[in-house]
Amino acid sequence: MRDVHPPRIKLPAGSCDCHAHIFGPQAKFPYLPDAAYIPPDQTLEDYIRVHKALGVERGVLVQPSVYGTDHSAMIAAMTSGKFNFRGVAVTAPDVTKKQIEEFHAIGFRGIRINLASKNRGLSIDDAPRLAELIKPLGWHLQFYAPVSAITAVEEKFTALPVNLVIDHFGVIDCAAGMDSPNFKALLRLLSRPNVWMKLSGPYHVSKQAPLAPDVAPFARRIVDTAPDRLVWGTDWPHPTGQWMPNDGDLVDMLAEWIPDEEVRKRILVDNPARLYDFA
């Protein structure tokens, strides 16, 4: 595993990485037989080592598509007592109220709908039922999809009665510019009071490795639009990234993306505490 350089900026106490994954060990937690990709083992111990180096004190684990609806690896990490975790699940369409309540007791606070994966999973058509099921517990629905796929079903999306979290900058293309229809659509969505977004995965929107300088103006415009409905994540260990960042660089990008330290604290500490129900 590559070394993580210490960030130049110090994260505020209680900072949360709101998007990361645990993989393996495969001998104990095997992937789907038809998994779209096969990542190397990146275990809880690896996660803790990296995040301590970054100064992150809270974490949100997101169920990766290669595990389908088998959350064994995530649950083992979340119940280990070794880190302060919340989780985002990937359920079957017919998940029951009892199953959701069991997930809630473990620390899950959302369900992810992945419209970008090659592995078959939940669809936008499953969202209304899931939203009604999770609403009493204060959970959210998280969407990994290009913003163009969301705007294609915008009426159904915006009618959902829970908080909605868009992954990875809505997978916009920074090369298309700030006047692109997709970026304007993302800002329009973020003007709605129940739409959130993750400042994560710059390699999904920029080809300018390894520091993605072209992301900064987009991030600042997004921060101006919805500072109370943004969270940040590393997407560690970057299983589908188009290029591999150093996680220390990902922290340092925050100085350009969110220059105001008070707003940075809001996005790193206060917003995650509300969205994920951290004590």
pLDDT per position as a tens digit, 38-80: 999 999 999 999 999 999 999 999 999 999 999 999 999 999 9
Examine the pLDDT at 1 and tell me if it is beyond 60.
no
pLDDT at 2 over 80: no
| DSSP structure string for 33-78 | TT-S--PPPB-HHHHHHHHHHHT--EEEEE--GGGTT--HHHHHHH
Q: What's the rounded Cα separation, in Å, for the pair 267 and 229?
A: 8
114: confidence class by pLDDT, cuts 50, 70, 90: confident
Using one digit for the tens of pLDDT, what is the confidence trace for 159-210? Answer: 999 999 999 999 999 999 999 999 999 999 999 999 999 999 999 999 999 9
The mean pLDDT value for 102-117 works out to: 92
Residue 235 annotated in active site = yes
Residue 120 in this model has a pLDDT that exceeds 90: no
Q: Which domains does the chain have, with CATH numbers?
A: 16-274 (3.20.20.140)
Q: Averaged over 233-248, what is the pLDDT?
A: 95
Q: Please provide the average confidence, as pLDDT, over all residues in the chain.
A: 95
For residue 128, CA distances in Å to 131, 132, 164, 207 come to 5, 6, 12, 35
Task: Tell whether the model's pLDDT for residue 260 goes beyond 80.
Answer: yes
pLDDT in tens, 132-158: 999 999 999 999 999 999 999 999 999
- The pLDDT of 218-245, averaged and rounded, is 97
Please give the DSSP secondary-structure letter assigned to residue 117: -
pLDDT, average across residues 258-263: 98
Catalytic one of 126, 235, 247, 270: 235
